[in-house]
Chains A and B, each alone.
Chain A
Amino acid sequence: MSVKLYDLIARVMQVPISKIDDTSGPETIERWDSFQKLILLYDLEAAFEIKFTLDEVLSINTVADIKRNLLNHGVLLDG
């Protein structure tokens, strides 16, 4: 599942997968602004068939945040 997650992030943020890790976020990825983050979250919702709450949308800042919140929705990621 991590692969799917990283694929999505790479596509939306237009960075190579190798550049993505848990700390990735607006500080490390140029295109990661509040708008691209919303687009990413929408794509994640569609891909994993979940719906983030408003608090989750606001609190997600890094890849680690995404993983934690996906887990809250029962999405299991490997690696």
Chain B
Amino acid sequence: MLPIPNERKLSDYISKSAIIDNSTLEKQIRVAILSSFTLNGIEETLRVKCFELKVRCRTYVSRYNQYNQDILDPKSDLYKFLPDISLLMIDTRSILKNLFYTPYSVSSEERQKYIDNRARELLTLVKTFTKRSNSKLIINNFNIPTYSPYGICEVKVEYGLKQMIEDLNSKLKSLLRSEPTVYIYDFNAFVTKYGEGNVFDYRQFLVGDIKVALNYLPYLAEDWMAYIKPTLGLNRKCIVLDLDNTLWGGIVGEDGYEGIELGPKAPGAAFVEFQRHLLSLYQRGVVLAINSKNNPEDALKVIRKHPYMVLREENFASLRINWNDKITNMREIAEELNIGLDSIVYFDDDPVNRELMLKIFPEILTVDLPNDPSLYAPILMSLNDFDVLKLTEEDTKRGQMYAQQRKRIELEKTSTNLDDYLSQLGIRVTVKKADEFTIPRIAQLVLKTNQFNLTTRRYQEEDIMKFSKEESMLVACAQVEDKFGDNGITGAYIIKKDSPLEWTIDTFLLSCRVMGRGVEEAIMGFILKAAKKEGVVTVKGQYIPTKKNKACEQFLGNLGFKKEGQNWIYSLHDNLIKIPSYMELKSE
């Protein structure tokens, strides 16, 4: 059985791509496809998959086996196309040439030398590309053939056929690890997942040099979407779960604490397995929440006490266990966690609930769960929506941070007023310059922040890297801590120094996680003080309204910026810069 249900046929994608109109879509991505073999049909599939995410995908496909020329020629159409993402696909046969068939016609030393040379050539090719293009480059590793002419003795041969490929893969990995814009696509895992006999069809190979069978191209395209989604900030960060028949089998309100299915034996083991994979996602930073119609006492007893429950109360950032409708609960979860509905993935066994959720909140990814809990874990693992291009410290600590957030909310409830609450929090803000450690996180914030974002300008990590090196620009971020813990880097700004007397705030944003605690005033105060110190007279800000950034509409006005046409102007002569008194502000 294939792990992704409902993947369509290649012909469906090709037919659909001919009739879709993506010209009006706001989000765009330019994808270049470079390959050593025929990949016809993949661009149509990517276009449709992007269209379904409301993204206009423009494609460039290099001519048959012309990837080398395209990369080496600085004037090639590839570079003129200005791709955002480039996918370079080279197959094992092309890299090994005759040695694929007759590896043992040469000595093991020669085989090693051959692989060393291929690895070096690939590295040169990759470096040539990254020097000439700002595009991300995704290069595949090589699938290890299952066949060897030595058969069962293959394992006894020194540096045999399989070891050649393994070595090439590991060399690629270590050579490219430090290239910030290069990613290795694990094609060998793709072949393992779907089977060599399925992915490689001899008839298609012999007739048209097709080395990924046509019926598997949609699966390959889906794997590539894992790179496209985070490039556009379309990755998701929260899983909302139902309880009965989703986290355990049966209905706790009817079957009772002892009657539910959850334990080492099937079918209860299916739910344990699902929960274990959820826990692993939690540990890597995916936020978990519950949306369940249940008696809270019944459900909480299971969550707190059941011996085979893997996920416990502290793993959930929000628990909505009540008799309210699921739509209201979902809206409240999004509000409580301060995340967009488009960041949520929803698991519920009940098709009626799923249909309702799809209808009311189409932006939520409602997973089409089959009526078979043994498939819950593989379906969860097949989702590529949680992928990020770089795992930052903030990502891995997110679950913990949301648990701290629950404690902050409790303090807020017991405080008599806002000032009292804020001063008790003991907020510390540290402004940090953009560097190799902070830039991945700044890029993440720039791509994803919607609510407190004055201009919503989206830049890729490579752009931010470039800005940070320019003398006429200032890129920085802010780490926010308080007595409950570290919120991580949750604010960022980009300043353009137009002249010695004037600065423009190109980008100013704050993660919704720390909004409304004076952090935004403190960071802006820091910028204004820095401007004054350098003798700047005016600082120019902008508020570009979007559907989502109403939260910062009044921000510049409240701080003393005066509206002049499209801009907000702050005169450093006339104004005193204020920083909230309850806050500790420093810079590194």
The 8 Å CB contact of B15, one of A12, A35, A52, is A12
Distance in angstroms between the alpha carbons of A43 and B203 in the assembled complex:
15
Tell me which residues across on chain B come within 8 A of A34, comparing CB atoms: 207-208
A42 in contact with B18 (CB, 8 Å): no
Chain B 107-144 near chain A by CB (<8 Å), digits 1 or 0: 00000000000000000000000000000000000000
How many Å from the CB of B13 to the closest CB on chain A?
Answer: 10
A35 in contact with B11 (CB, 8 Å): no
B14 in contact with A38 (CB, 8 Å): no
The 8 Å CB contact of A57, one of B11, B15, B203, is B203
Interface of B is mostly: helix
**A32-79, CB < 8 A from B:** 34-36, 38-40, 42-43, 46, 52, 54, 57-58
The answer, yes or no, to whether A2 is at the interface (CB within 8 Å) is no
The answer, yes or no, to whether B382 is at the interface (CB within 8 Å) is no
Distance in angstroms between the alpha carbons of A74 and B41 in the assembled complex:
30
**A1-56, CB < 8 A from B:** 11-12, 14, 34-36, 38-40, 42-43, 46, 52, 54
Given contacts A12-B11, A12-B15, A14-B15, contact A39 B207 (CB under 8 A): no
How many Å from the CB of B17 to the closest CB on chain A?
Answer: 11
A39 in contact with B11 (CB, 8 Å): yes
Tell me which residues across on chain A come within 8 A of B41, comparing CB atoms: 35, 39
The answer, yes or no, to whether B360 is at the interface (CB within 8 Å) is no
Distance in angstroms between the alpha carbons of A40 and B11 in the assembled complex:
8
The answer, yes or no, to whether B210 is at the interface (CB within 8 Å) is yes
A11 in contact with B207 (CB, 8 Å): no
Distance in angstroms between the alpha carbons of A40 and B214 in the assembled complex:
11
The 8 Å CB contact of B207, one of A12, A38, A43, is A38
Tell me which residues across on chain A come within 8 A of B9, comparing CB atoms: 42-43, 46
Quick one: closest A residue to B14, CB to CB? A39
Given contacts A43-B9, A46-B9, contact A38 B204 (CB under 8 A): yes
Tell me which residues across on chain B come within 8 A of A58, comparing CB atoms: 207
B203 in contact with A54 (CB, 8 Å): yes
B214 in contact with A57 (CB, 8 Å): no
Top-10 shortest CB links A-B: A12-B11, A35-B40, A39-B11, A54-B203, A42-B214, A43-B11, A57-B203, A39-B214, A57-B207, A42-B215
Q: Which residues of A contact B (CB under 8 A)?
A: 11-12, 14, 34-36, 38-40, 42-43, 46, 52, 54, 57-58
20 example contacts (A-B, Cβ-Cβ < 8 A) are as follows A12-B14, A14-B15, A34-B208, A35-B41, A35-B208, A36-B14, A38-B207, A38-B208, A38-B214, A39-B10, A39-B14, A42-B9, A42-B215, A43-B9, A46-B9, A52-B203, A54-B202, A54-B203, A57-B207, A58-B207
Give me 5 other A-B pairs in contact (C-beta within 8 A), A14-B15, A35-B38, A52-B203 excluded.
A12-B15, A34-B207, A35-B41, A38-B214, A42-B9
